[in-house]
Amino acid sequence: MMNIFESLNLYANSFKYYYGSDRNSTFVRGILKQNYRFPKMLSEQDLLKIDKKASILSYSAVLGAIVLFLIYFYAVFFKNYELISQQQPIVFSLMITVPVMVAILIPYLIANSCFNSFLKRFGAFSRVKEPFRVPQNATSKTIPGYERIQRRVFKEALLGFIGVLIFLAIVLFVDYSPEIAVALIKSGNYKAALNVSDIAAKIVPVSPGNYGVRGAAKFYMKDYKGAVDDYKLANKLSDLNAYDADLYVSKSKILNKQQMLAEFDKAIKAEKIKAKKYSIIYLKANYLYSIKAYSEALANYNILTNAFNNDEDLLFPQEDMYFRRAMTFKHLGRVKEANIDMKAANTMCPDCNYQKLGEKYLEFVPSLDY
């Protein structure tokens, strides 16, 4: 009786493409599940050559499919993602599935053709539909290499398992990279956050979150121009210009007050949707507060509170708006109005505990909400 190590050795070195022999015939399996019959008994040496060649071609087909898959996605799909994403769902799906199928089929067709040519070295053969089934009474004396017939190939199973683990690790890394990078930023490790988000952005260059968090890392590293570029790219890939706030924050480190106000006013004038227009006014007010232009900030907060009182739609937390106006009143020495707004903010959000929040909460910095 074989021990476990002998069994594993036999398992690892077993034939994958040789089915067996019967009545002076040898049966071989092809790359694309085709089956071949040689009208003679092939030697074990020949069977080893066939099995080795088939394995090499099979590995090459897998590698070729992966290469074609990556070439399509990185050279075509990702570069034209903005245009592709605007297509109808069925067209979008076809632009993913069809190239993937073609990427898989082409290398396997080439490998199969090469294998057919290689088999001709061993004589004439014919294609058969059903594979040979090893007789129950078969022995090593009646069939060459019988002990190694039709055993699962341990090496391929192990490589496949490792490949799946690597793929899952990449998927999990890309999926959680924004959270990882945000945690690193909060701990002050900006360079590591930049590296994490940079790698993730290279793997999936159409994920806005990766560019957003990379922009935040650059912001805290005082690379404000780089942050602006990343937030613009994140906005381009996201819906509803989701990174506008962080984009304005980064621009505020590059532009002077006059330039920033011109940016805000231009955006406010261009925006057709009223709720979004109010969001830009809110950002403008927060910017003015950050540069201690309290009177101007108050004028903009008043526009927003009037909109709120008129039951107009606002896309930002109204309790924050009242808290910010309360702090603005406080800086202007208008204590009574500050207390009224602070009470309103606490009523809207009793758990926010605004009275304990300081100026740090009001800093004009990236939100880190990715």
Residue among 166, 154, 164, 163 at smallest CA distance from 55: 154
The answer on 264 and 132 residing in a single domain is no
Mean local confidence (pLDDT), 68-95: 84
Any domain includes 275:
yes
Last residue of a domain, one of 152, 181, 206: 152
The label of the residue with tokens 């210009």 reads 241
294 in a structural domain: yes
What DSSP assignment string belongs to 196-249?
HHHHHHHHSTT-HHHHHHHHHHHHHTT-HHHHHHHHHHHHHHSSTTTTHHHHHH
We report the CATH number of the domain holding residue 274 as 1.25.40
The domain tally of the chain equals 2
Helix (H, G, I), strand (E, B) or coil at 173: helix
d(CA 57, CA 256): 63
Range from 4-18, 117-131, 148-162 carrying the lowest mean pLDDT: 4-18
Q: How confident is the model at residue 239 (pLDDT cuts 50, 70, 90)?
A: confident
The last residue of one of the domains, among 152, 186, 221, is 152
- How does pLDDT run across 182-212, given as a tens digit for each residue? 999 999 999 999 999 999 999 989 889 999 9
Report the distance separating Cα 193 and Cα 182, nearest Å: 7
Clarify whether residues 134 and 18 are in a common domain.
Answer: yes
H or E stretch covering 127: strand 126-128
What is the rounded average pLDDT for all residues in the chain? 86
> Are residues 8 and 121 both part of a single domain?
yes
Q: Are residues 11 and 144 in the same domain?
A: yes
For the chain, how big is the Rg over CA atoms in Å? 33
Per residue in 291-315, pLDDT tens? Answer: 999 999 999 999 999 999 999 999 9
Contact 61, 31 (CB under 8 A): yes
- Domain for residue 361, yes or no? yes
Greatest mean pLDDT among 65-69, 320-324, 358-362: 320-324
For residue 247, CA distances in Å to 215, 226, 233, 296, 353 come to 9, 11, 10, 21, 28
Query: What is the identity of the amino acid at 261?
Result: L
Q: In terms of domains, do 270 and 144 share one?
A: no
Q: Is residue 218 part of a domain?
A: no
Whether residues 27 and 147 fall in one domain: yes
pLDDT reported for residue 131: 61
DSSP 8-state symbol, 333: T
Asked if residue 279 belongs to a domain, the reply is yes
Give mean pLDDT, residues 321-330. Answer: 96
Last residue of a domain, one of 127, 152, 177: 152
Specify if 304 maps to a domain.
Answer: yes
Spatial distance between the Cα atoms of 113 and 31, rounded to a whole number of angstroms = 9
Specify the pTM.
0.72
**323, part of any domain:** yes
**14 domain residue, yes or no:** yes
Q: How confident is the model at residue 54 (pLDDT cuts 50, 70, 90)?
A: confident
Instruction: Please list the residues that pair with 181 across neighbouring strands.
Output: none
Give the model's confidence band at 337: pLDDT under 50 very low, under 70 low, under 90 confident, else very high: very high
Domain of residue 264, residue span: 255-370
